[in-house]
Chain A
Amino acid sequence: MTNSIELTGISKSYGGLTALGKVDLTVKRNEILTLLGPSGCGKTTLMRIIAGFEEPTTGKVVIDGKDSTSLPPEQRPVNMVFQKYALFPHLDVFDNVAFGLRLKKKPKDEIKREVTKALELVQLEGFKNRWISELSGGQAQRVALARALVNRPAVLLLDEPLAALDLKIRHHMLNEIKRIHEETSTTFVYVTHDQDEAMILSDRVVLLNKGGIEQIGGPQEMYWSPRTLFAAKFFGDTNIVNGTYGLADTSNGFVDLPFGRYAHTAKNSLGAGPVNVSIRPETIGLEPALGATLADGAFAGKVKDTSFIGNRVIYRVAVAGGTIDLKCQQLPTPGSHTLAPGSDVALTCKPDSFVVIPA
């Protein structure tokens, strides 16, 4: 059995409002899968359906091979780290972490052993007797992790766990979560709206939008091969250029853009027609224009503004007679001058890196 979770035909509606359309999803054993999307996309609803706090309007939830659709949360082999941690304020750290084990009536010495191990895993060994109110945000989050993982669930759900933390701690905690995942080999389902977290952490990303799955893939695939306009615009920065796709012959295509025609064969069997082309800023070559004639394949542009960020420079360049602005990203070398607004530049594109999406 390679799948931790299988969701088939899951949908959720409240009265007239549809939170989730028909969703099919499998979560592979031991992977870190991230549900990613803007607020209102349905990622939290989907996670709560897996946990058992919401009942799906239609569909089936199979966890570890067992149909769990109508099982209440306390009977599912799933544990959750809540967004605000939900640590019990009337119990100390030890009792919080031991809570699940005590409910299962495990023997005292086993509980002590497991809780100690769990606290060691999250690096909070000396914190057994602390009260919840005495913990910092990062410490509280680690206690929440320990409290969930000590029960050895088949699946660990993490509901935007880093949302309440400072930026500096967030990166540290991301690495902690990765380490803990490797040490426990549990399936993780992570929910966030932050694309950086998703990219850094995940084996696979599920991009959700308005209650439906836009695309599923690994971080690289999501970045370089988005299949919809929403997906292309969601990850990082990109230029969306309107153009036309045409077929020179059965195995070769081309893209007509306002600043030139490029040979590009679309991956899925795309027919001729209007398209949106996603061009990543870092794939556009930029050189100062030396004279009136341009090199082969280059097209003219004028810099509109310059943003020096340190490890990169972003130029906004007006091309095609000023009708389109293209964002271009360059790596500055120490001592080099960044081009000032108004400079004439020659741009080159790499058509292999185009992503062509039907309009």
Chain B
Amino acid sequence: MIRLFTYVYMLFLYAPIAIITLFSFHSSASLSFPFEGFSTQWYEALFSSSDFMTALTNSAIVAAGSTVLTTLLGTFSALALMRMKGRVKSVFAFMNFAPIALPGLFLGIALVIFFSLIGLPRSLLTVVIGHTLFTFPFFVESVRSRLEYFDLSFEEAARDLGATPLKAFWLVTLPIIGPTIAGAAILAVALSMDEFLITVFVTGSDTTLPLMILSMMRRAVSPTINAASVFMLVVTIAIIVIAGLVMTLRRRRLELERAETAE
């Protein structure tokens, strides 16, 4: 009985994705059944469109820029959180977490007003700033819970053995929290690629991928939209898969090194 429920649930979850993917390969411009045949024409149209390529590049730039900023700021926050105690820590942790609950609408409007106040014209830069603010609480929250288990005596032990605070961070803290940071960074990339609401408010004339898909829907409903959506899906999955592969390959390489130096 439970198994049946699980199948129905999976169907409900994946059916829309399956149908969208199917119709992205449709040989005709129709988005409804009957299915007439396979064709890659919509993908070809997409990649030959300079608008699409520009939007893709912009999304990549914004994702990269905001992730770097979020990772830097987020790592420092996490390190600070590790050293805080009691009430100060709870307050700080809550303040880090609260923006997640904030409607994107508010952040978008607030940023627009802020940028015009300080005279910063809306552009990809403002989008990067917006995305950094947006992904930051997610980054810190995802790192914080794993860091609860980080014992500060690791750093003390390193210093006791002769490491300066910087060396202790580099040789001990960073390798231990590295995987957690990396995972949170990947989350930030995925969130940024997908971000739409704040971007709509703070962008100037530059388009990112989600924005472009929306405008495509406004203009003409055709399987090009499907192709663009499937493309985004594939990119997001690819990021996660590549990250996973890198981790596994790294671990395997380390194990080989161990085996070689062992006697």
A residues adjacent to B (C-beta < 8 A)? 51, 53, 72-74, 78-80, 82-84, 86-90, 92, 99-100, 103-104, 128-129, 147-148, 151
Complex contact A74–B163 (CB within 8 A): yes
A sample of 17 inter-chain contacts (CB < 8 A) reads A51-B160, A53-B159, A72-B159, A73-B159, A74-B163, A74-B164, A79-B160, A79-B161, A80-B160, A82-B157, A83-B153, A86-B156, A88-B157, A103-B162, A128-B263, A129-B258, A129-B262
Question: Which residues of chain B have C-beta atoms less than 8 A from A74's C-beta?
Answer: 159-164
Measured CA separation A148–B159 after assembly (Å): 12
Given A84-B151, A129-B258: A100 and B162 interface contact (C-beta under 8 Å): yes
Which residue of the partner chain A has the closest CB to B174? A90
> Do B161 and A103 have beta carbons less than 8 Å apart?
yes
A28 to B19, CA, bound (A): 81
Interface string of B231-263 (1 = CB under 8 A from A): 000000000000000000000000000100111
Interface string of B148-180 (1 = CB under 8 A from A): 000101101111111110010001100110000
Q: How far, in Å, is A51 (CB) from chain B's closest CB?
A: 6
Bound CA–CA A148/B158 (angstroms):
11
- Complex contact B258–A73 (CB within 8 A): no
B154 nearest CB neighbor, chain A only: A86
Contact B157 A92, beta carbon cutoff 8 Å: no
Find residues 186-242 in chain B having any chain A CB closer than 8 Å to their own CB.
none
CB closest residue in chain A, given B262: A129
Give, as a whole number of angstroms, the nearest-CB distance from B166 to chain A.
11
The size class of the interface chain B forms with chain A is 20 to 34
Least CB distance from B84 to A in Å reads 15
Q: Which of B159, B176, B262 has the most CB of A within 10 A?
A: B159
Partner of A82, one of B153, B172, B176: B153
How far is the CB of A112 from the nearest CB of chain B, in Å? Answer: 11
Besides A80-B156, A103-B161, 5 other CB < 8 A contacts? A74-B162, A86-B151, A86-B153, A88-B172, A90-B176
Contacts of A88 in B (CB 8 A): 154, 157-158, 172, 176
Q: Tell me the bound Cα distance from A116 to B175 in angstroms.
A: 25
Cβ-closest 10 pairs across A and B: A100-B161, A86-B157, A86-B153, A103-B162, A129-B262, A90-B175, A73-B159, A80-B160, A74-B162, A74-B159
Among A79, A84, A104, A129, point to the contact of B153 (Cβ < 8 A). Answer: A84
Tell me the nearest residue of chain A to B157, going by C-beta: A86
CA distance A53 to B158 in the complex (A): 12
Bound Cα distance from A95 to B157, whole angstroms: 14
B158, A92: Cβ atoms closer than 8 Å:
no
A89→B163 CA distance, assembly (Å): 17
How far does the Cβ of A49 sit from chain B's closest Cβ, in whole Å? 14
B262 proximity list for chain A (CB < 8 A): 128-129
Q: Report Cα–Cα, A239/B29, bound state, in Å.
A: 99
Contact: B153 with A151, CB < 8 Å?
no
State the CA gap A87–B153 with chains docked (Å): 9
| Inter-chain contacts of B151 with A (CB < 8 A) | 84, 86
Question: Residue of B at shortest CB range from A51?
Answer: B160
Shortest CB-to-CB span from A160 to chain B, Å, is 13
Residues of A close to B158: CB separation below 8 A: 88, 99
* Complexed CA–CA distance, A82 and B154 (Å): 9
B137 to A: closest C-beta gap in Å? 28
Distance in Å: Cβ of B174 to nearest Cβ of chain A: 10
By a CB distance below 8 angstroms, the chain B residues around A80 are 156-157, 160
**Chain B residues with Cβ under 8 A from A128's Cβ?**
262-263
Residue in contact with A73 in the complex, picked from B154, B156, B175, B263, CB distance below 8 Å: B156
* Bound Cα distance A2, B162 (Å): 25
* B258 x A89 contact (CB < 8 A): no
CB distance from A164 to the nearest CB of B (A): 13
In angstroms, Cα B163 to Cα A147, docked, is 14
Minimum CB distance partner of B167 in chain A: A103
Q: Shortest beta-carbon distance, B221 to chain A, in Å? A: 53
Given the known inter-chain contacts A53-B156, A84-B151, A129-B258, please indicate yes or no for A147 contacting B176, CB distance below 8 A: no
- For A79, the chain B residues whose CB sits under 8 A away are 160-161
Chain A minimum-CB-distance residue to B156: A53
* Residue pair A89, B160 in contact (C-beta under 8 Å): no
Determine how close the nearest CB of chain A comes to the CB of B108; give it in whole angstroms.
41
Instruction: Report the Cα distance A92→B156, complex, angstroms.
Output: 18
The distance in angstroms between the C-alpha atoms of A148 and B160, with both chains bound, is 9
Q: Interface centre among B158, B258, B262, by most A CB within 10 Å?
A: B158
Q: How far is the CB of B38 from chain A (nearest CB, A)?
A: 49
Known: A84-B151, A88-B154, A88-B157. A151 touches B176 (CB 8 A): no
Residues of B within 8 A of A99 (CB): 158, 161, 171
Nearest-Cβ distance from residue B185 to partner chain A, whole angstroms: 19
Q: How far, in whole Å, are A86 and B156 apart by their CA atoms in the complex?
A: 9
| Complex alpha-carbon distance, A82 and B161, angstroms | 12
Q: How far is the CA of A84 from the CA of B152 in the complex (A)?
A: 11
- Select from chain B the residue with minimum beta-carbon distance to A99: B161
Q: Within the assembled complex, what's the spacing in Å between the Cα atoms of A88 and B175?
A: 10
Collect the chain A residues with CB atoms within 8 Å of residue B176's CB.
88-90
B146 to chain A, nearest CB (A): 13
Instruction: With both chains docked as a complex, state the minimum distance between the C-beta of B45 and any C-beta of chain A, in angstroms.
Output: 49
In the bound assembly, the distance between CA atoms of A94 and B185 in angstroms comes to: 32
B148 to chain A minimum Cβ distance, whole angstroms, is 15
Assembly CA distance A53 to B156 (angstroms): 8
Asked whether B258 lies within 8 Å of A151 as measured between CB atoms, the reply is no
| Contact residue among A51, A82, A151 (Cβ-Cβ distance under 8 Å from B162) | A151
Write out the residue numbers on chain B whose beta carbons fall within 8 Å of the beta carbon of A90: 172, 175-176
